[in-house]
Amino acid sequence: MTGDWLKLPVIAFELTGVDPDLLALLRGPETAVQTHAVQVDYQIPVKLRWWRRVWLWARRKPHPTVQCRVFLPNATITATDPADTDA
């Protein structure tokens, strides 16, 4: 009986026809998204003729690649757990 006063009813409502500026004031200040500079390194395969690709495949050699680097000044980073992605 002592915890019954904590069980308040949930009231859901929707505001329609409200000025977006007024709605932003009611919500309060928004937290700014933290951005970071991100550097991405990746490999681009070199375009070869078909006979050269077959020659490399027959000799079990890797396909030649060119390394490229991209710098993204305002990237949003989302941390994910690698254990969660394994399904």
Residue 44 domain boundaries: 33-76
Does residue 62 belong to any structural domain of this protein? Answer: yes
**Where on the phi/psi map is residue 53: left (φ > 0), alpha (ψ -120 to 50), or beta?**
alpha
Per-residue model confidence (pLDDT) at position 11? 74
Place of tokens 């002592």: 2
Q: What is the pTM of this model?
A: 0.40
Does residue 12 belong to any structural domain of this protein? Answer: no
Which DSSP state fits 51? H
pLDDT in tens, 18-50: 788 887 887 777 777 677 788 888 999 999 999
Burial call 22-51: b when 16+ CB within 10 Å, e when fewer: eeeeeeeeeeeeeeeeeeeeeeeeeeeeee
Per-residue model confidence (pLDDT) at position 64? 93
Percent residues over pLDDT 90 in the chain: 31
- Answer whether residue 87 shows pLDDT above 60: no
Does residue 53 belong to any structural domain of this protein? Answer: yes
Nearest to 56 by CA among 66, 48, 87, 74: 48
Does residue 5 belong to any structural domain of this protein? Answer: no
Which DSSP state fits 4? G
